[in-house]
Amino acid sequence: MMKRTADIVVGLGFGDEGKGSTVDRLCRASISRGTTPLVARFSGGHQAGHTVVCEDGRRHVFSQLGSGALAGCPTYLGPGFTFDPIGFLAERSKVETLGGCTDVSVDPDALLVTPLDMAWNKATSGNGHGTCGVGFGATVERDLKVSMRVRDLLHLGVLRHRLACVEDYYRRAASGRHQMEVMSAILRDSDYLDACARVTPMIEVRRQSSPHFGHVVMEGSQGVMLDERHGFFPHVTRSKTTSVNALRMLRRWSAGHEPTVWEVTRAYATRHGNGPLPGEGMTSPIVRRNHAETNVDNRWQGKLREAPLDLGLLRYARSCEEADSSSDLERVLVVTCVDQVDGIPTVCDGLLDGPLALATSLGAKRVVSSVSEVGLPMEEPCSVH
């Protein structure tokens, strides 16, 4: 009987840890062993920005396709994923041009994002909570009252009716405020329905992905410190970012996959958006800039902020991850962007020699490191003694 395995990739910080490159490397390692894995997105949604750079120079920032697509791996978008049909069409076209795999299955319970959700997000973004400006939080909040799911794509009449309900929801919510933004978005709804009609033949809507895959790489979003339960409210996401949803998905498939959790952190701390960043304002790490850094200054998130690693916060994040899953699971610490700093700068423990010293300080049993955005093969994890 074939042994089934699953690699679950989670970030330990505030996002932007290097989850995309980790997923890509895990996929390529699996392919080199003769197994093409499925990449399953188990948290967050279309707001993701997971960067992959291949050895041949191809580069893409993944949003709604799995970060293994350039390696030739199919994608599954799980229940609760926020699916933006217009954005998906653009990304699918780009990945296809790059020679990536565009085979995508989507759970019927994935949430549909509309132009109204995006417009409402942008119109109300002055609350200081932090946002990417693409309507993720607005979609999740609206869905609590007016649901619109991927299953509705298969029934045009139902889709039109639900979109009308969404329009009414935002008209009522505006009540004199932000009317211009809402009405402008409503005018774009015909384009949205056209995009829905175009996207439906391009995806397979199914309750679960095929459990016959011998290996699954499960791609998380953001980081544990943005989890709606574990982060610093109100600067959190409306999603569970630990491995809890991935493990629930594996149990539902009942295919006996044996999971390994890959816990990802940069060699220094970052935060792109509002909210606390412990260690910020202290002696800043000297970071050698990556010219291809994805997280650039923008209207919604501002500048990418940097700080030394707070080992206490990393220990807390790892404890939250274990509490949501199991302390018995195999775990590997992944330290990315080691080429951008000398050693591992920390808040209270000075400069650590490198990833192995960091793993020792955190109590991790296995560790692997990588450089920033370079498509090199995944090394074998090193055991920590």
Q: Which residue ranges make up each domain of the chain?
A: 5-107+206-383, 111-204
Choice among 160-164, 237-241, 377-381 with the minimum mean pLDDT: 377-381
Please tell me the predicted confidence (pLDDT) of residue 97. Answer: 98
- pLDDT score of 333 more than 80: yes
Please tell me the predicted confidence (pLDDT) of residue 71. Answer: 97
Q: What is the residue type of 382?
A: C
Please tell me the distance from the alpha carbon of residue 217 to that of residue 22, in angstroms, as a whole number. 10
Please tell me the distance from the alpha carbon of residue 76 to that of residue 100, in angstroms, as a whole number. 15
Q: Which residues contact 326 (CB under 8 A, 6 or more apart)?
A: none
Please tell me the distance from the alpha carbon of residue 263 to that of residue 367, in angstroms, as a whole number. 9
Per the model's pLDDT, the better-predicted residue between 360 and 384 turns out to be 360
At the topology level of CATH, where does 5-107+206-383 sit? Answer: Adenylosuccinate Synthetase; Chain A, domain 1 (3.40.440)
Please tell me the predicted confidence (pLDDT) of residue 203. Answer: 97
pTM to 2 decimal places? 0.91
Residue closest to 39 by CA, chosen among 62, 15, 56, 61: 62
Would you call 365 helix, strand, or coil by DSSP?
A: coil
Per the model's pLDDT, the better-predicted residue between 311 and 284 turns out to be 311
Please tell me the distance from the alpha carbon of residue 27 to that of residue 71, in angstroms, as a whole number. 7
Highest mean pLDDT pick, 91-95, 204-208, 267-271, 301-305: 91-95
Average pLDDT estimate for 53-61: 91
**Do the Cβ atoms of 267 and 338 come closer than 8 Å?**
yes
Res. 285 pLDDT band, cuts 50 70 90: low
Q: What is the residue type of 197?
A: A
- pLDDT score of 11 more than 70: yes
Average pLDDT estimate for 232-240: 86
Highest mean pLDDT pick, 6-15, 324-333, 341-350: 6-15
Res. 261 pLDDT band, cuts 50 70 90: very high
Query: Tokens 């200081």 correspond to what residue?
Result: 128
What are the φ and ψ backbone dihedral angles of 139, each rounded to 5 degrees? -65, -45
Please tell me the distance from the alpha carbon of residue 36 to that of residue 145, in angstroms, as a whole number. 40
Reading the block at residue 267, the tokens are 């060699």
**Do the Cβ atoms of 11 and 242 come closer than 8 Å?**
no
